[in-house]
Amino acid sequence: MNSQKTVRDYIRTIVDFPHEGILFRDVTTLFADPRGFRMAVDQMLHPYAGQRIDKVVGLEARGFILGGAVAHQLGCGFVPVRKKGKLPGAVISEEYTLEYGEAVVELHDDAIAAGETVLLVDDLLATGGTAEAGIKLVERLGGKIVGCAFVVDLPELGGRKRLEAMGMDVHALCAFDGL
């Protein structure tokens, strides 16, 4: 009997990338398949269908691919959260901690109006540091996050717990054990 493929089935694992001991969850294989990509986008927006969402915020870089598609389906605007120095014009910045060091993400200072409702989107939830920085940027502009949607959750890294501790609704299409 031919069973129905899930989003997880479209994601390949690359062993020892970017370095030894890491199991890299590669969503480019999901994006490349029209059925898989449509399934992921539909499932990401499903929990938020019927809610007022003014903007989808996508985190660099794969969150742009997903976020743009989700925004299109919801009929709302799309806003990118970029690495420092990539956005023209006036921005606000948020520093966050990486495994080794720190990074900064930015958002245009006029991208979100006070009171607008926002869905935050990215491909993968690991430690939650990038997502937390994105949430803080949106909230500094007066936006209200209605949810955070991801394709993959890596539960062992604690990102979901971190975002839920901030009061966020977190939705992930699948989870993988291991790093």
Catalytic positions, please? 62, 99
Determine whether 172 is exposed, middle or buried from the number of CB atoms within 10 Å of its CB (0-12, 13-18, 19+). Answer: buried
* Beta pairing class for 55-59 and 23-26: unpaired
**What is the Cα–Cα distance from 91 to 107, expressed in whole angstroms?**
5
Are the C-beta atoms of 84 and 130 separated by less than 8 Å?
no
Determine whether 98 is exposed, middle or buried from the number of CB atoms within 10 Å of its CB (0-12, 13-18, 19+). Answer: exposed
Are the C-beta atoms of 92 and 141 separated by less than 8 Å?
yes
- Output the six-digit token pair for 66: 């997903």
**What is the Cα–Cα distance from 21 to 15, expressed in whole angstroms?**
7
> How many residues would you count in the chain?
179
Taking residue 36's Cβ as centre, other Cβ atoms within 10 Å add up to 20
